[in-house]
Structure 1
Amino acid sequence: MSIAGFFADGIDYNLPHPALDDSVLLIAHNAIAQAFCMLRVAPPAGFELSSAPENAITQQLEWILENHLRKTGKVAGFDERIFQKVRRGAEVTNFDGKHPSKKPDLVFDLARDAPLALSSLDALFVECKPVDKAHPLEKHYGSMGVFRFVNGDYSWAMQEGMMVGYVRDGKTLSASLAPVFSQEPLHSLLGKPTVMTLVAHGACSCMAEWLHVTTHLRNFQWPQNKGGASPIRLFHSWHRCL
């Protein structure tokens, strides 16, 4: 069943969903940074952050975020007043319903009751990618990551999304990712991203960079003749996996 056919039943909704305040993205970033800190201090038996594959790291992040941090209030704001469950590999449908089993790495369900929003799609969708010599930024972070937000696979009803980098080779957002985003043909493929900027009131450490944001044009039409998709802001949360 396509999304368009599903919506034909008379569901009333607006696109895009109401924008998220930057503070919500900062809370998610801080929670992810805290989860990494816990992994470094007390890793599970047999788990090595410096060598663990992408899926194993994401599995551990979900476990800590959902089963420890969200319910304890250890990270200010990361609680059930703003976020519902954090889910890993949850299946979502793309913008036109032709791909019903897309799987963003993490989905932070929102606790807000946004009027005229599609509740199953009202979430912070997160894609996680390794950042090291074996995973070129152009391919893995760009065309296999960011592009999924631009083409309507992920977060298509939202105005925000998040990319999480698992960094192992000293790359940084300003020195490494920003130049890659500015080069063609990737710049056009990724919706002509704006200059990368810091998110105000954030914080950084030797293990987690300051949260950055870029804005990207999207290249699809919303269902039910609701027009061309608005731009999306992507927040970049990079963490050293050492």
Structure 2
Amino acid sequence: MSRTPSMLQDHLSELIRGQELPLPALDHLHVEVILELLQNAYTGIKADYHAAVSSGEEKHLNSLMVDRLNHLVGENSLASLLVRSVSRGTETKNYDATRFEMRPDIQISLTSRQHLFPLIVECKLIHIAKGKTVDLYCRDGLARFTTGDYAWTNQEALMLAYVRDGVSTTSHLSPFLEAATRRSPPEYAVVSLPQKCAVSLPDAARSEHGRYFKYVHGGQGGKLPGDIAVWHLWVS
């Protein structure tokens, strides 16, 4: 049985019940605490599971990351003030409910929000020699945030890259997105190119991107969601 427009409206209305979208932006310092948590989780699994980090599939790394993140949240009093729990592959829907059963790589449930509106982390391997390029990182990762597949209720999202050949946001991501702005039409709706953030971390940057879909539910129908800030953490 196909879903009618009315059914789609029902799903969206129930999801965003009582919420004004987009949700308020997270404090930058809070996001940086979460980036540090991700970095610490990766550093830990790299020390304990070197083979998985050096040659394992993305899904195996994501699973290890989620388990380690939940342990760290339980052990870190500051992190526990911000993060309720971390999950992997929890089913969600896109901005107009035409795509069901979407599964972001990692979802971070925050203490400041209902668990229905997690912070989304999309993960990608970067291994140029194996064809895991920055083009795939953007086309199959970053674009999910600009088109309204993921994080459409939020004003921020995270990208996590597992880097295997020494490249960085400065050497590869920034030039790629700069070139994307010169294409016709421009790609990835770049509002601002990646800028270094979380200076204590080896490779973290923040970019901003436009979003031109419109909310389609209730009193917010026709409203644009505004730009989204994407925080990129590249670990190696």
TM-score when scaled to structure 1?
0.85
CA distance in 2, matches of 1:193, 1:37: 32
Alignment of 1:47-66 (within 5 A): 47-66=51-70
| 2:22 partner letter | P
CA distance in 1, matches of 2:96, 2:43: 39
Partner SS, residue 49 of structure 1: helix
| 1:27 partner letter | V
Q: Of 114, 131, 134, which aligns to 1:137? A: 134
**Is 2:196 the partner of 1:198?**
yes
Structure 2: segments with no counterpart, 5+ residues: none
| 1:14 partner letter | E
Identity of aligned residues (%): 23
Partner SS, residue 78 of structure 1: helix
Partner SS, residue 103 of structure 2: coil
Q: 1:186 to 1:214 in 2, by over 3 A?
A: farther
Aligned 8 A contact 1:15 1:226 in 2? no
2:89 corresponds in structure 1 to 89
User: CA offset at residue 5 of structure 1?
Assistant: 2.5
Aligned 8 A contact 2:12 2:97 in 1? no
Partner SS, residue 48 of structure 1: helix
Root mean square deviation, CA, Å = 2.1
**Which string of whole-angstrom CA distances, capped at 9 and with x for unpartnered residues, describes residues 80-132 of structure 1?**
x211110011111110011111111000011115xxxxx35422101000111
**Is 2:170 the partner of 1:165?**
no
User: CA offset at residue 11 of structure 1?
Assistant: 3.3
Alignment of 1:216-231 (within 5 A): 216-224=209-217, 225-231=221-227
Aligned 8 A contact 2:52 2:60 in 1? no
CA distance in 2, matches of 1:12, 1:71: 30
Q: 1:99 to 1:186 in 2, by over 3 A?
A: farther
Q: Of 14, 17, 41, which aligns to 2:20? A: 14
**Which string of whole-angstrom CA distances, capped at 9 and with x for unpartnered residues, describes residues 157-184 of structure 1?**
0000000010011111112110100123
Aligned 8 A contact 1:121 1:157 in 2? no
1:100 corresponds in structure 2 to 100
CA distance in 2, matches of 1:214, 1:192: 8
TM-score when scaled to structure 2?
0.87
CA distance in 1, matches of 2:13, 2:168: 46
Q: 1:96 to 1:168 in 2, by over 3 A?
A: same
Q: Of 61, 71, 75, which aligns to 1:72? A: 75
CA distance in 2, matches of 1:31, 1:6: 33
Alignment of 1:106-185 (within 5 A): 106-113=106-113, 119-133=114-128, 134-138=131-135, 140-184=136-180, 185=183
Aligned residues: 223
Structure 1: segments with no counterpart, 5+ residues: 114-118
CA distance in 1, matches of 2:149, 2:184: 18
Q: 1:182 to 1:65 in 2, by over 3 A?
A: same
CA distance in 2, matches of 1:234, 1:186: 23
**Which string of whole-angstrom CA distances, capped at 9 and with x for unpartnered residues, describes residues 130-161 of structure 1?**
111121211x1111000000010100000000
